[in-house]
Amino acid sequence: MKSRGKRKLRPPCSRVSVLASGGLCKGNSRTVTVKLGRFAKLQRALQFSRAGAKSCVKMISLRACISSSSLRSRLSASLSSVRRASTFYNASVAGLTDEEAEFRNAVHDFAQKEVAPRAAEIDRTNTSPMDLWEKLGSMGLLGITVNEKYGGLGSGYLQHTLAMEALSTASGSVALSYGAHSNLCVNQIHRHGTDAQKDKYLPPLIAGTKVGALAMSEPGAGSDVVSMQLKATPKDGGYVLNGNKFWITNGPIADTLVVYAKTGEGSKGITAFIVEKGMQGFSTHQKLDKFGMRGSDTCELVFENCFVPSENILGKLNKGAGVLMSGLDLERLVLSGGPLGLMQAAFDVAVEYVHERKQFGQPVGAFQLMQGKIADMYTKLNASRSYVYAVARACDRGEISRRDCAGAILYSSDRVVEVAMDAMQCLGGNGYINDYPTGRILRDARLYCVGAGTQEIRRMLIGREFNVDLM
């Protein structure tokens, strides 16, 4: 690969995205606290110093991202004029209330401080950052939709989606593991568990001292759920599980898992169980070496005469299909925040680059072809965001639409791959090397085209929903 000219810029990292959160400001040094009502746990993320650029540079490690004095001076000028490429995140256009915008900004600030500086290393080493779980728990992010009596925030799916988006802007893999824990496991136990199950499992999961997962897919049964082969045979006050699960996000690190098994024939013979790490006969195989979402540990689960007591049935016996399908709708919705965050990250990198990189005596962002790419990326991001937020609000009203939950992740997943590709193109040769995050963003984005159901399954599901209505 031949590069034209010297590469003057270091990876822009997350500066533009951090500016989007409104976390940088000027003035005398003092602390500001924004009141969040029931989001009190998140107030600490909205406490920031008005000491100007010095404290902000320390917070996001800009020194590691800036390699030239001229770029430093341009950064200083942009800060002093509060000129931020990230007016690109407009809370009013997105339809967020002040409280929702504050919530989103709090999670964003946390993610940029605690997650973004480690994202490249997490991807390179394919290592899950275990220390982040309790930090997420202390922020209240692991139980957003859970009743406050169990340690949750007692909020809704829009906030959950906003958190997924903000974390994905920092790291797609950390956000994916977060979604598997907080939505697929925690939310399902909260929605379908008995009081005893909630009392036992939710507090440590919400605190982050335990990690959760959901196990549905198998080597021969992905979207075809009814064909699953994991058997649960009744025995002495419980059930003995035999079989395998595959593609399980958080599988290698999970302490508490929601596992679906066959207790009868057909769709009416599926039951959900809560399985704990350490149960005799339950083990995990080596984690998978994935193309993207590296650091979001994924593996095969093995059940060999694993006894699970009857009190660990989640929902009712042979009613697991209902638990599963209702959960899939909300899973698709919340995970739609992932493509939004990755699009924002790709857009931030591209906008930063095209306004700093000069060719023919001017920034490449001055060229109309490049402006067209930026415009396309911007509109795709905001169109996706509007659809996802609208579906989330509907779910919070109790109007859960299967076709629109599928539609939200279908549309945003197609768009995120396009936006990531455009971001790589904006960077030219630099977009193809791992000094910049564009390659990682693209690899992470591809997961959403096959995870939580493939794009083809989503299209089929939407079409089938219309057939039910009209035929």
Annotated binding residues for FAD, as ranges?
Answer: 214-223, 247-249, 357, 368, 425-429, 454-456
Cβ–Cβ under 8 Å, residues 248 and 258: no
Q: What is the residue-level pLDDT of the chain in tens, covering all 471 positions?
A: 444 444 444 444 433 333 333 333 333 333 333 344 555 555 544 443 333 333 333 333 322 332 333 333 333 333 233 233 344 567 778 889 999 999 999 999 999 999 999 999 999 999 999 999 999 999 999 999 999 999 999 999 999 999 999 999 999 999 999 999 999 999 999 999 999 999 999 999 999 999 999 999 998 877 777 789 999 999 999 999 999 999 999 999 999 999 999 998 877 899 999 999 999 999 999 899 999 999 999 999 999 999 999 999 999 999 998 898 889 999 999 999 999 999 999 999 999 999 999 999 999 999 999 999 999 999 999 999 999 999 999 999 999 999 999 999 999 999 999 999 999 999 999 999 999 999 999 999 999 999 888 999 999 999 999 987 776
| 405-418: pLDDT as tens digits | 999 999 999 999 99
- Whole-number Å distance between alpha carbons of 412 and 340: 7
Helix boundaries (H) for 95-209: 98-114, 119-125, 132-138, 157-170, 172-179, 188-192, 195-207
Nearest alpha-carbon partner for 180 in 364, 447, 454, 464: 447
* Superfamily grouping for domain 214-326: Butyryl-CoA Dehydrogenase, subunit A, domain 2 (2.40.110.10)
298-309/313-314 β-pairing: unpaired
Q: What is the rounded (10 degree) CA torsion for 59, 64, 68, 71?
A: -40
Contact 333, 409 (CB under 8 A): yes
240 exposure class (CB count in 10 Å sphere: 0-12, 13-18, 19+): middle
Instruction: Give the residue ranges of the annotated binding site.
Output: 214-223, 247-249, 267-268, 329-332, 357, 368, 425-429, 452-456
User: 267: closest CA among 324, 217, 215, 315?
Assistant: 324
Do the two domains 111-210 and 214-326 of this chain adopt the same fold?
Answer: no
In the chain, count H helices and then E strands: 16, 12
Radius of gyration of the chain (CA): 23
CB 405 within 8 A of CB 136: no
Where is the binding site for substrate, in residues?
223, 267-268, 329-332, 452-453
CA distance 110 to 209: 19
Element (H, E) at 359: strand 358-359
pTM over the 0.85 mark: no
Query: Distance (Å, rounded) from C-alpha 92 to C-alpha 99?
Result: 12
- 349, 435 contact by CB (below 8 A): no
φ and ψ of 163, to 5 deg: -65, -45
Q: What's the CATH fold of domain 111-210?
A: Butyryl-Coa Dehydrogenase, subunit A; domain 1 (1.10.540)
Residues 249, 329, 454: CA angle, nearest 5 degrees:
60
Catalytic residues: 331
pLDDT in tens, 122-160: 999 999 999 999 999 999 999 999 999 999 999 999 999
CA distance 336 to 395: 13
Domain ranges of the chain: 111-210, 214-326
